[in-house]
Amino acid sequence: MRLLKALFLILSITSTTAVYGQSKLFKNVKSNPEEAKAICKKFEALNAQGIRASSEEAISEISRNKNLTPTDAEILSIYVIAMYCPQIK
């Protein structure tokens, strides 16, 4: 629940243009839940190693793999965790 609140806070701070861009960011995982599940599995593997999904290491990996800015990767990870794998730390 706190991740969902964080997502709404982040989105409310951004401009209209940025929010439009973020909707494109979420489109892939919304239309392809398997992609979101794959991200969840990666986060689970990191958690098993004692690495939090919000760590710089995890965000950098999402950023590289999805060709996103670190900020967009962080927003995407918050969204995926909130919607698909709330058990992730």
- Contact assessment for residue 44 and residue 37, using Cβ atoms and an 8 Å cutoff: no
Q: Which two tokens stand for residue 30?
A: 């919304």
Helix (H, G, I), strand (E, B) or coil at 67: coil
Identify which of 62, 85, 57 has the alpha carbon closest to the alpha carbon of residue 72. Answer: 62
Q: What is the pLDDT of residues 48-59, one digit of tens each?
A: 999 999 999 999
Element (H, E) at 33: helix 33-48
Spatial distance between the Cα atoms of 44 and 56, rounded to a whole number of angstroms: 16
- Contact assessment for residue 34 and residue 84, using Cβ atoms and an 8 Å cutoff: no
Specify the pLDDT at position 15.
44
Specify the pLDDT at position 37.
93
Q: What is the pLDDT of residues 2-49, one digit of tens each?
A: 666 666 666 665 544 444 455 678 888 888 889 999 999 999 999 999
Domain ranges, ordered by start, for the chain:
2-84
Specify the pLDDT at position 62.
93
Would you tell me how many other CB atoms lie within 10 Å of the CB of residue 3?
18
Specify the pLDDT at position 16.
42
pTM as predicted: 0.71
